[in-house]
A = this chain, B = another copy of it.
Amino acid sequence: MEAFNDFRKQSLPLIEKEMENFINEYTANDHLKTAMLYSIHAGGKRFRPLLVLAVIRSFNKKVQIHDYQVAAALEMIHTYSLIHDDLPAMDDDDLRRGKATNHKVFGEAHAILAGDGLLTAAFQLIAISQIESNQKVLLIQLLSKAAGTQGMVAGQAGDLQGEERSLSLNELADVHEKKTGALIEFALLAGGILAEQPKEVVDLLGRFAQHLGLAFQIKDDLLDATSSEEELGKQVGRDEVLNKSTYPSLLGLDGAKQALDEQLEKGRSTLETIKQTSSEFHLELLLELLEQLQLG
C-alpha cells in the first residue's frame, strides 16, 4: 500500500484534470467558465475527493476514470459552497486560500452564477459518466441528500441562525454534521459503492465518516481560533467576530482539543472494525489521513 503523500501527489492532478475537462467542454459562456475555473484553480486540500479515491485504493481496486469523475463532482459541490459562503450576504470573506474570493474578482452576480453552475455541473458530470445506471442513480441520490436540504444547505442555514443566537453543543454538532459532515460521509459511502463493497462495509465506512467529519470540524474551529492569517491563507478569528458558536467557544480550547482526540480515537477503532469485517481492506491510507487531523 502506497503512503498517503504518494497517493495524494499522484491523485491530485487527475482530479483537477477531470474538473477542468468537464468545465472546459460543458460551459457555453466564456466569462462563466473563467469564473468557475478561477475557484477550481484556487487549490485547497482536495480533502473530499481524495477521500473517495483513498477508500477505493484501500480495497486494492484500481482507480478508474469514472471514479475520478465522481471525486471531481464532489469537489465541484464543495467549491460552489465556498463561493456562495464567501459572498457579502453570507460570511463576507475577501480571501480564500490566500487568493481573492470569487466575488472580489468577478463581482457578486457572476459569483452567484459560478456557484449555481458548479452545483448543477456536479450532477451532470455523474449523470454522463460511464457508471452503470443503478449505481449512478444511487450516487446522485446520496449526493443530492448530502449537499442539499437534508445536508449541507440545511447546515448553512443553521449556521446563519447560529450567528443570530447561541447554539447548544447538540445543536452545534447537528449543524456541523449537516454543513461539513454530510459531504465527508458522501465521500466515504461513494468510495465504498464504487469499490463494490457490500452494504455492511459501506455502513461501517459511514460510521468512520461521522468521527472523521466531527474531527475535521473541531480542527477547523481550533485553527480559526489559534492561527495567524499568514499560516491559514484566509482571514482568521472570523468566528469570534461573527459571534458564532464553535467548539472552542463552547468547550474552551482544552475541551475542544480533548473532543478532537476522542473523535480521532473512535475513527481509528472503526477502521480496525472494517479490517475485521473485510479481508480486502487495508487501513493504512485512511489512518494516515486521519492522523493528519492530529494537532501539530
Interface centre among A26, A90, A117, A144 (most CB of B within 10 A): A144
Stretch in A42-50, A118-126, A258-266 touching the partner: A118-126
Q: Are A84 and B112 in contact (CB under 8 A)?
A: yes
Give the distance to chain B from A91, nearest Cβ to Cβ, in Å: 9
Q: Are A28 and B149 in contact (CB under 8 A)?
A: yes
Q: Which residues of B contact A26 (CB under 8 A)?
A: 145, 148-150
Q: Are B123 and A153 in contact (CB under 8 A)?
A: no
With known contacts A113-B153, A153-B116, A133–B137 Cβ distance under 8 A: yes
Q: Which of B33, B107, B116 contacts A84, CB < 8 Å? A: B116
Q: Are B113 and A157 in contact (CB under 8 A)?
A: yes
Whether, in the assembled complex, A36 has its beta carbon less than 8 Å from a beta carbon of chain B, the answer is yes
Q: Is the interface of A mostly helix, strand, loop or mixed?
A: helix
Q: How far is the CA of A203 from the CA of B108 in the complex (A)?
A: 38
Q: Are B144 and A123 in contact (CB under 8 A)?
A: yes
Q: Are A109 and B128 in contact (CB under 8 A)?
A: no
Query: Which residue in chain B gives the minimum CB-CB distance to A23?
Result: B149
Whether, in the assembled complex, A228 has its beta carbon less than 8 Å from a beta carbon of chain B, the answer is no
Interface centre among A84, A108, A124 (most CB of B within 10 A): A124
Q: How far is the CA of A28 from the CA of B117 in the complex (A)?
A: 24
Q: Which residues of B contact A155 (CB under 8 A)?
A: 29
Q: How far is the CA of A12 from the CA of B119 in the complex (A)?
A: 29
Q: Which of B28, B32, B154 contacts A28, CB < 8 Å? A: B154
Q: Are A157 and B29 in contact (CB under 8 A)?
A: yes
Query: Which residue in chain B gives the minimum CB-CB distance to A156?
Result: B113
Query: Which residue in chain B gives the minimum CB-CB distance to A135?
Result: B133
Binary per-residue interface labels of chain A (125-154) against chain B in the complex, 1 for a CB within 8 Å, 0 otherwise: 001100001101100110011011111011
Give the distance to chain B from A20, nearest Cβ to Cβ, in Å: 13
Q: Which residues of B contact A158 (CB under 8 A)?
A: 29
Q: How far is the CA of A90 from the CA of B155 in the complex (A)?
A: 25
Whether, in the assembled complex, A160 has its beta carbon less than 8 Å from a beta carbon of chain B, the answer is yes
Besides A112-B112, A120-B147, 6 more A-B contacts (Cβ < 8 Å) are A36-B149, A87-B109, A120-B148, A123-B140, A124-B141, A124-B144
In the A-B complex, the 7 residue pairs with the closest CB atoms: A120-B148, A89-B108, A124-B144, A29-B154, A32-B157, A133-B133, A27-B149
21 contacts between A and B (CB under 8 A): A23-B149, A29-B149, A31-B157, A32-B154, A84-B113, A87-B112, A89-B108, A90-B109, A110-B157, A113-B153, A116-B116, A116-B153, A120-B147, A121-B148, A121-B149, A124-B145, A124-B149, A127-B140, A133-B133, A133-B134, A136-B137
